[in-house]
Amino acid sequence: MLPRIQESPTRILSATLTVSDLLDFQSTDEAPLLVEVDTTDDDGRTYRQSHIVAKLSEKHDTVKGHHEFTICFADPTLAAHTYGPEDTVTIHRMFFAP
């Protein structure tokens, strides 16, 4: 008898895309969107953490001549991050099985 593989209740899809594509990946309760954030401490060590996105917003910057995208995180201790349309980020989107 073959061992049975139990499926995890969560599947993660990872992709690297331009920030402007993030608007197609709005976060929902059923499939929250996570964004990887790299931070470097004073000693030069880099840490990567994933944070749940609470809100994505877009605005046209007339000075720079392009759209900018702001990501607000669900964790209130994290500051929002603003990106240009050609910046790349790595996202993880979790899909919860019913």
Instruction: For 44-63, write each residue's pLDDT tens digit.
Output: 787 777 777 777 777 776 77
- Looking at residue 58, its pLDDT comes to 75
Q: Which residues, listed in sequence order, are joined to residue 75 by a DSSP beta bridge?
A: none
For residue 31, give the 3-state DSSP assignment.
coil
Share of the chain above pLDDT 90, in %: 0
Residues 6+ apart with CB under 8 A from 66: 60, 84, 85
53 in Cβ contact with 33 (< 8 Å): yes
pTM for this entry: 0.50
Which has the closest alpha carbon to 37: 96, 81, 93, 84? Answer: 81
Q: Which CATH number fits domain 10-96: 2.60.120, 2.40.50, 2.30.30, 2.30.29?
A: 2.30.30
Q: What does the pLDDT look like over 67-84, one tens digit per residue?
A: 777 778 788 887 777 777
